[in-house]
Structure 1
Amino acid sequence: MSSALYSLGRWAAGARRLVVAAWIGVLVVVGGVGGIVFQGFDNSITIPGTESQEALDQLAATFPEVSGVSAQVIVVAPDGGSIEDDDVRTPVEQAADSFGDIDEVVAVSTPYDEQAAAPVSDGDQATIVQIQLDGDAFAISDATKDELHDITDELEAALPDGAQASLGGQLYATELPALSIIEAIGVVVALVVLMITLGSFVAAGLPLVNAFVGVGVSMLLLLAATAFGPINSTTPMLGLMLGLAVGIDYALFIVSRHQELLRDGVDVEESIARSTATAGSAVVFAGLTVMIALVGLSVAGIPFLAIMGIAAAVSVGFAVLVSLTLLPALLAMAGDRLRPKPKKVRKGAKGRRQAAPADAHESRFFTGWVKAVTKVPIATILVVVVALGALAVPALNLRLALPDAGYLPEDNEARQTYDLVAEYFGDGFNGPLVVTGTIVESTDPLGLMDDLADEMRSLPGVADVPLATPNPSADTGIIQVVPTGAPDSEETKALVAEIRDRHDYYLETYDVDLSVTGFTAVGIDVSDKLGEALLPFALVVVGLSLLLLMMVFRSVWVPVKATVGYLLSVAAAFGAVALVFEQGVFADALHVTKLGPVISFMPIILMGVLFGLAMDYEVFLVSRMREDFVHNGRRARLAITTGFQGAAKVVTAAAIIMFSVFVAFVPEGDMTLKPIALGLAVGVAVDAFVVRMVLVPAVMALLGDRAWWIPRWLDRVLPTFDVEGEGVAKELRLASWPGARTDGRPDAVVVSDLEVAGPRGPGLGEPPVVGPVSVRVAAGDGLVVHGDSSAPVSALLLAVAGRLPADAGVAKVEGLVLPERATSVRSRVAVVDAADVGGAPAAAVADAVRAGARVLVLDRADVVTGLTPRQDLAGALASARAAGVTVVVGSTGVSATDLLPDGTPVLDVGAGFGAPARLRGGELPPPPPPESTQHDNHGDHGDPDLAGTPAGEDPSTADSPTTTTQEVRA
């Protein structure tokens, strides 16, 4: 990864104008397409597989008059008056006639109808004019909504003084989110933090440009995607919030690393390439974790949530892509203007002038911080766990629901209607249930509906049953049930459960298969389904966290600690949301319009997003600690301090920026996004400043060397992910090795002290190795590898061909370092197994040469017997060498020297694994450039007796009579 990103960063810096022009072109093209094909956002929510959705779909076919959304106008007579008064009744009836003339209105009911009369409050002071429309809430046109408003305004004007007429209902229950000037404050705060962190306006502006381009492309793509399916209007808001946050953060990591290298005197383009390779690797890892977690939202089985997760993941993906391509180009354009100015000199002891250390103030601050939290690690851990546990306690009572009109701002007419209905009729009239079933076999549909209505009235929690009727064809019946509780109350949820629990009773007694649906039941089912998805989603996230961090850090305890810290952050974020939105702490300051349940998909979105962000901070902080421990030979305790100093400043800035972007969506955000934004803001702050910068150093200090322990078998099984740039560092170290040959020809294969492990598995013990092997083969030359058994020969050949990782030593094939460039090596090296080519190895060799192989590896040449077949094979190999192909031939028992010219070097690997290798003829390479002292990451570092190992000495081999220095696999 780091090697590929190094090449990408260098290319983008060299082709800076082309890269910038390409991204501008992408913005223009995607913007044009998006503007042309944009179909508008669709805020309808469907939840396939739930009872309420299936019943709603059935009603749309059999009873369309009641399947659509409804609106309601509450009319309140003046004090002392009644809705039966002529000066009230006449305007209401005229308004009802006007409502009925609107194209999308199916039916209108008033209290004056003989059948299906609208409800009237106690004392006859208020009534609800019910307006049934054709279609769901987001299918109704704006023209119809405007007509409904106009007629309601005319009605209120016609009513006597002191009377009220207010329009609301399900049609107006949801207010679409929109951007406000408040969100821009988060960007301004981000700019200030960037300027303080990076030291210049130019450097601070680059992350913002990076984020805006990434967000711009992803948002325009989202507009175009509406042509292929419905997209919720909350989706672009979530994508914008995440895209801005991660786009700024990812760019910050790369720019800050670039400035570090510039400060050390590295050339601009080289610095860009190295920054992209190192910080860019961590950005790729962090972006992938966020994207995987967001796509994982689809486990809930709710289409709109899956689309929301995928769209947000696309925004994060573009943030990563822009950071790895456009940002290096912009850095190249900025050139030396980003190079930090040398620190002013100061007088030291005895008047000598000394350069002030870079970031001296920050180092002192963060040094004091990390020493304070690691001085008594057990006490620090207990304080953090108890404090976060206390903050998480309110989350035990966190309730989930879909927001309705009761969560709109108090000056909104639909909210005022909601409150008036609750005042005069009770909370349940704002969220009636619809109980429906097929009655086609009934001989008395009207009587059946009356009997079922009486059954419903007898249930606890039922305030009224105002309607029970069959459809015109008498094959489907509906019963409108008004609960005593509000739509988001536990009482209403219990009533829905009670009706469903009595399903079999109704079926046996009345032969009717009843289902509960309606806006309220849909919301309950969405919340239940999301609640059921939380546990499997959490298991996926936690399992993914453990696996990914083990891949990165080659440790068991570091991932466990990171995952526990993530769970503490999530619990604290949930607790903070419950405190604000249910208990009312700081509710007025944050413009919370109503206390109660929070939007039902908040927990799963918060868990997914916070997972990725927590892994960001973990990687950027702990990777520096690991780098100092593994590569610089420092003791574990010292590595914690030095690693913390190296990363804490950037992590702090990144967390402040992320917090600022999220919290900016809280004050003026709609009640859909508000709890999500608050939870993310609190979660980021807690995870960065409490978990990663307090709990993590304390746990690491408590574990000491044990923190980096991993069983050898697990280390070998896990794939690797280089987020520290070890691969590119190794390539840079070996760039000029082994030097020019005396004959001026290029090298094709160069290995030095190469070791390849033998078979691994339970009961086999420590795997024996082939080697160490050292040899140097020029392009177009040949090499024979001979052994007494096939396994060690094949293992060595496959390692050289980039098909099998070596366990120690250094190898370069066609100038490419292994295993870092194994993919590129495999594209240049052909492997022919003489035993698997159907008795025609000569033809297979010729095919490989025609395919463009630069190196040919021929294994098990000893199976080719007979004079003619061997002569044919020798001829094919000679033709390959004549074409400039390097040939490496392996054989067992029978020597393969007859296949290559006399004098070809022979590498004898002996009798098998563990036997010494011997080179006859040929050339040995010079030793590779040394690297800094390393710890072996594969040993039992958890052994308490090893805690005092001297700095720079491998604890796993301390006091051992024989040691083998192995390359750290990262």
Structure 2
Amino acid sequence: MAELLYRLGKGSSLHPWRAIVAWLLALLVAGGSYLAFGGTLSSSVTIPGTATAEVTDRLQAEFPDASGGTGTILFHTADGSALTDDQRADISAALADVAALDGVQRVVDPFQAEADREAQAADLQSKQAQADDGRTQAEAGQAQLDAGRADAEAGQAALDAARAAAEADGTIVTMQAAFDAQQAVLDAGAAELDSQQQVLDATFAQLDAAQPALTAGQQLIDAASGLRTVSEDGSAAVASVQFSLPAIEVDPDTKGAVVDAVEAADLPASGVEADFSNELTQTLPALGGVSEVIGVAIAGIVLFVMLGTLIGAGLPLVTALVGVGVGAAGALALSGVVDMMSVTPILGVMLGLAVGIDYALFILNRHRRQLREGADVHESIGLANGTSGNAVVFAGSTVVIALLALNLTGIPFLGLMGTVAAACVVIAVLVAVTLTPALLGLAGLRLLPRKQRADRHAHVHGEVAPMSTPRAWLRVVAGIAVLGIVAIPAASMRLGLPDGTSEATDSTQYRSYTLTAQEFGEGVNGPLVVVADIPTGLDEAGLTVLQADIVGDLMAQDDVVAVAPGGVSEDGSLAIFQVIPQEGPNSESTEVLVHTLRDLSIDGHDDVTLSVAGFASGNIDVSEKLSAALPLYLVVVVGLSVLILMVVFRSLVVPLIATGGFVLSVLAAFGGVTAIYQWGWLGDVFGVHDPAPILSFLPILLVGILFGLAMDYQLFLTSGMREAYVHGSPARRAVAEGFHAGRHVVTAAAIIMISVFGGFIFSHTAIIRPIGFGLAFGVLVDAFVVRMLVMPAIMHLVGEKAWWLPRWLDRLLPDVDVEGASLERRHHAPDHTPEGERSPAGKHAAGGDTATADDGEQPATSRA
């Protein structure tokens, strides 16, 4: 590989325009593909197979009217006064325009909904009053009937007494006809009374049969009373917009048309303001903001300070931007055939830009050092590409492996994120080893400041002394203590997805969320959709009673404010209910409520089962799925870390040190993110006005990306230590020499990466900000605390044992010459570099020099 890269680098430097034109064509092709085939990006985070996704798919198939995505519009007066009749009419007219848009299935006018609710309540009260009047009349008729029956019984008793007296005095014969006539009258009266009783019994039966449905209806109205569409003071109204397609499939243009239709009504002229929920106005991430530009500018300043020339500082930026352009445009070109989250190409841009600058810097720095030693320009470019470029390829491979491993989580959007980001890193590596040498060839000696050009062969030798053992112990203890303290908040980390409170305080999404919570309750911002499987064949009354029983059990749960029936499917097998929780969609109580409702059994209805969907439910399922995937992914990444480093450094101890440091870096990064974004520490600095759970897929992204970047820094520092050790330096001095040789470029690279990632911390998009902070803070901790403070100290304390490897394992592992030492020997690299600057790979390149022993160690001439 080193020889191939040497030839590639030297060839590109000798024929620079070939590489330049090739990459310009690649950029044009990628851009043209995006314009021709680019599709729509999604702002929704979904995972197939979750409980919410299954319910949503089922609703789409069996109950399409209830499966469309929804958004809300909050109308309120500017001065807080009650909405006037004219203002209400203007709002209703604007909503009518929205309802006429393509892709909009239904719009709930808040005033009509409130009127319908009041009319329904009044109608039910009227029916109940009629039922009560009917029962009163029936009861009065029963009383009259009972009185008539008592009179009839008294008449029968008198007739029976007269008949008995006539039989006793012997006049029965003469009185018989009269007695029979009276008996006939009494029998006819009794028959009439029986007939009237049957009518009354039927009336009572009808009233009894109708009463459960009336009672159930009242229960339903009472349960839904907490779900208002107009605030109690009349100053605000919330309208619901339902689309024809599920939320993830709704075209952003359709959402934009809804916003445009409302704004076209010019409601502010009448004193009404409209704010839109996150579902309607969630902005897609975009590049080119002020903060991102500042991040790149800081990277440019660091490069200029380090390199001393504008050409040198600009070259890594140019190559990185070319790679980012190709990668981002290529990724966006795939959005027409692949469901892609809006954050996916942005992540590729973040990584591509950061590693693109760093990788070009590594090659550039090696080339400049060789130029100062007096090397020929084109030969130096070839050697730099074959040595540092070889390390770049290997370092990039570790990042790519970690990103592609995201596919092992079984989460499609996360796997696609990793794949796109990995492709951007691959492009950054290819640009670094092809376009960078071409531009270096064009720049020639102008990469060096004028003073260095005039004194290219000057070199100063100096000894690098190892650190003292007490100082090493102090660095280890202090570093691990700092990392442990910073990681403490990670123990309380909760996962979720952004809601309206994550947006800027002056945004319409934030105003909509907070005003809705204020006027209607927090739970209105995250209603739950409860779907009940019910027995079929029920009549209207039976269905109403069943719904009331279900609603009663739902209302009996903690943290439920209101429940409203949402309809029944055509085949009568599904009933939908809207449940309003006490708190918002990201609260712990709502999370508990979702699980409670899924496990709930309806009293007296064993054949009824419940399932839950909705925005809040979906967020909970996604977060739990990602949280469950994190441990497995961490194990995979740690295993890869140990294996890769074992192959590179031919050691068992070094991989354990490096991997342990990586785990500490990740935990510290988790702690920092939790403290800032969940606890709200330094919220004013980082724009966190409403602390919330951590972005659900951020932990896995941090693990994967920080692994790759940590291995980069580990590689560039530890490979120098190993080469110094292999070529004769005692173990502890080798640590100092390798660290001294690599610290400047690693420091610059880390600062550049922190600047690039840090530029996204103040992005206008809520979903990007914690990603930018997590990556910037993770690199800061890993580079400056773990790799440059703790790791060298542990290597010093371990000494010779750091490079121990069983012979049988040594024979099995492939021989990877990451620094290209053999290439340097073949091409006779100069060996007069200043002690503090030369590459350990080039030290003793002829292989026979010895170093003075220190700390009681014996010099070694061959430890390969």
Shorter-chain TM-score range: 0.7 to 0.9
Q: Determine the structure 1 residue equivalent to 2:354.
A: 245
Distance 2:809 2:449 in 1: 43
User: Would you say 1:112 and 2:223 are equivalent positions?
Assistant: no
> CA distance change for structure 1 residues 184 and 44 in 2, over 3 Å: closer, same or farther?
same
Q: Determine the structure 1 residue equivalent to 2:860.
A: 952
For residue 106 of structure 1, report the CA deviation from its aligned partner: 1.9
Q: Is the 8 A contact 1:433 1:519 kept in 2?
A: yes
User: Would you say 1:544 and 2:640 are equivalent positions?
Assistant: yes
User: Would you say 1:285 and 2:394 are equivalent positions?
Assistant: yes
Counterparts in 2 of 1:740-755, with a 5 A limit?
A: none
2:770 match: secondary structure: helix
> CA distance change for structure 1 residues 164 and 330 in 2, over 3 Å: closer, same or farther?
closer
Instruction: Give 1:526's aligned amino acid.
Output: V
Q: Determine the structure 2 residue equivalent to 1:533.
A: 629
2:253 pairs with 108, 120, 142, which one? 142
2:336 match: secondary structure: coil
Q: Determine the structure 2 residue equivalent to 1:553.
A: 649
Distance 2:70 2:349 in 1: 32
Q: Determine the structure 2 residue equivalent to 1:802.
A: none
For residue 355 of structure 1, report the CA deviation from its aligned partner: 9.3
1:589 match: secondary structure: helix
Instruction: Give 2:115's aligned amino acid.
Output: Y
Instruction: Give 1:130's aligned amino acid.
Output: S
Distance 2:632 2:620 in 1: 20
1:469 pairs with 567, 587, 591, which one? 567
Distance 2:314 2:549 in 1: 71
Counterparts in 2 of 1:291-370, with a 5 A limit?
A: 291-338=400-447
Segments of 5+ residues of structure 1 without an aligned counterpart are 347-353, 735-928, 936-944, 956-967
For residue 588 of structure 1, report the CA deviation from its aligned partner: 1.5
Distance 1:22 1:167 in 2: 46
Q: Determine the structure 2 residue equivalent to 1:614.
A: 710
Between 325-334 and 249-258, report the one with greater CA deviation: 325-334
Point out the structure with the larger helix share: 2
Q: Any idea what the Cα deviations from partners look like across 1:451-475, whole Å, max 9, x if unmatched?
A: 2122111111211113342134433
For residue 123 of structure 1, report the CA deviation from its aligned partner: 5.2
Distance 1:686 1:144 in 2: 41
> CA distance change for structure 1 residues 392 and 268 in 2, over 3 Å: closer, same or farther?
same
> CA distance change for structure 1 residues 934 and 485 in 2, over 3 Å: closer, same or farther?
farther
Q: Any idea what the Cα deviations from partners look like across 1:77-97, whole Å, max 9, x if unmatched?
A: 7989656x6455544544443
2:551 pairs with 453, 468, 485, which one? 453
Counterparts in 2 of 1:808-827, with a 5 A limit?
A: none
Distance 2:14 2:94 in 1: 71
> CA distance change for structure 1 residues 78 and 552 in 2, over 3 Å: closer, same or farther?
closer
> CA distance change for structure 1 residues 141 and 323 in 2, over 3 Å: closer, same or farther?
closer
Counterparts in 2 of 1:174-193, with a 5 A limit?
A: 176-193=285-302
Q: Determine the structure 1 residue equivalent to 2:42.
A: 42
Q: Any idea what the Cα deviations from partners look like across 1:23-70, whole Å, max 9, x if unmatched?
A: 222222222222222223233433111110011011112222221121
Q: Is the 8 A contact 1:445 1:470 kept in 2?
A: no
Q: Determine the structure 2 residue equivalent to 1:9.
A: 9
Q: Determine the structure 1 residue equivalent to 2:196.
A: none
Instruction: Give 1:476's aligned amino acid.
Output: L
For residue 695 of structure 1, report the CA deviation from its aligned partner: 0.5
Q: Determine the structure 1 residue equivalent to 2:365.
A: 256
Instruction: Give 2:376's aligned amino acid.
Output: D
1:21 match: secondary structure: helix
Q: Any idea what the Cα deviations from partners look like across 1:284-311, whole Å, max 9, x if unmatched?
A: 1111111111112223322222211111
Q: Is the 8 A contact 2:43 2:284 kept in 1?
A: no
Q: Determine the structure 2 residue equivalent to 1:198.
A: 307
Counterparts in 2 of 1:780-929, with a 5 A limit?
A: none
For residue 723 of structure 1, report the CA deviation from its aligned partner: 0.9
Q: Is the 8 A contact 1:13 1:331 kept in 2?
A: yes
For residue 700 of structure 1, report the CA deviation from its aligned partner: 0.8
Point out the structure with the larger strand share: 1
> CA distance change for structure 1 residues 197 and 932 in 2, over 3 Å: closer, same or farther?
farther
Q: Which runs of 4+ in 1 moved over 6 A?
A: 77-81
Distance 2:251 2:21 in 1: 43
Q: Any idea what the Cα deviations from partners look like across 1:71-123, whole Å, max 9, x if unmatched?
A: 2233447989656x645554454444343333332223321224698544445
Distance 1:573 1:315 in 2: 23
Between 92-101 and 240-249, report the one with greater CA deviation: 92-101
Counterparts in 2 of 1:72-91, with a 5 A limit?
A: 72-76=72-76, 86-87=85-86, 89-91=88-90
Task: Mark the structure with the bigger radius of gyration.
Answer: 2
Q: Is the 8 A contact 1:591 1:668 kept in 2?
A: no
Distance 2:398 2:280 in 1: 39
Q: Determine the structure 2 residue equivalent to 1:626.
A: 722
User: Would you say 1:582 and 2:678 are equivalent positions?
Assistant: yes
Distance 1:687 1:326 in 2: 29
> CA distance change for structure 1 residues 478 and 345 in 2, over 3 Å: closer, same or farther?
closer
TM-score by length of 1: 0.71
For residue 644 of structure 1, report the CA deviation from its aligned partner: 1.4
Distance 2:80 2:802 in 1: 78
Q: Determine the structure 2 residue equivalent to 1:171.
A: 280
Q: Is the 8 A contact 1:65 1:107 kept in 2?
A: no
Instruction: Give 2:716's aligned amino acid.
Output: F
For residue 537 of structure 1, report the CA deviation from its aligned partner: 0.6
Distance 2:664 2:427 in 1: 30
> CA distance change for structure 1 residues 88 and 302 in 2, over 3 Å: closer, same or farther?
same
Distance 1:672 1:285 in 2: 31
> CA distance change for structure 1 residues 99 and 192 in 2, over 3 Å: closer, same or farther?
closer
CA-atom RMSD, angstroms?
A: 3.0
User: Would you say 1:425 and 2:520 are equivalent positions?
Assistant: yes
Q: Is the 8 A contact 2:531 2:577 kept in 1?
A: yes
Q: Is the 8 A contact 1:76 1:126 kept in 2?
A: yes
Q: Is the 8 A contact 1:152 1:167 kept in 2?
A: no
> CA distance change for structure 1 residues 194 and 356 in 2, over 3 Å: closer, same or farther?
same
How many residues get paired?
733
For residue 205 of structure 1, report the CA deviation from its aligned partner: 1.7
Distance 1:573 1:664 in 2: 17
Distance 1:21 1:155 in 2: 52
Q: Any idea what the Cα deviations from partners look like across 1:688-739, whole Å, max 9, x if unmatched?
A: 11111110111011011111111111222223322111332354469xxxxx
Q: Is the 8 A contact 1:446 1:469 kept in 2?
A: no
Distance 2:80 2:677 in 1: 38
Instruction: Give 1:104's aligned amino acid.
Output: G
User: Would you say 1:649 and 2:557 are equivalent positions?
Assistant: no
Distance 2:787 2:21 in 1: 39
Q: Determine the structure 2 residue equivalent to 1:381.
A: 476
Q: Is the 8 A contact 1:38 1:223 kept in 2?
A: yes
> CA distance change for structure 1 residues 445 and 47 in 2, over 3 Å: closer, same or farther?
farther
> CA distance change for structure 1 residues 104 and 713 in 2, over 3 Å: closer, same or farther?
same
For residue 440 of structure 1, report the CA deviation from its aligned partner: 5.8
> CA distance change for structure 1 residues 113 and 102 in 2, over 3 Å: closer, same or farther?
farther
Instruction: Give 1:441's aligned amino acid.
Output: T
> CA distance change for structure 1 residues 643 and 165 in 2, over 3 Å: closer, same or farther?
closer
1:478 pairs with 546, 565, 576, which one? 576
Counterparts in 2 of 1:123-134, with a 5 A limit?
A: 126-134=236-244
Q: Is the 8 A contact 2:255 2:281 kept in 1?
A: no
Q: Any idea what the Cα deviations from partners look like across 1:479-534, whole Å, max 9, x if unmatched?
A: 111111110011100001111223xx359934234221111111111111110011
User: Would you say 1:491 and 2:407 are equivalent positions?
Assistant: no
Q: Is the 8 A contact 1:259 1:339 kept in 2?
A: yes
> CA distance change for structure 1 residues 20 and 148 in 2, over 3 Å: closer, same or farther?
closer
User: Would you say 1:931 and 2:839 are equivalent positions?
Assistant: no
> CA distance change for structure 1 residues 81 and 580 in 2, over 3 Å: closer, same or farther?
closer
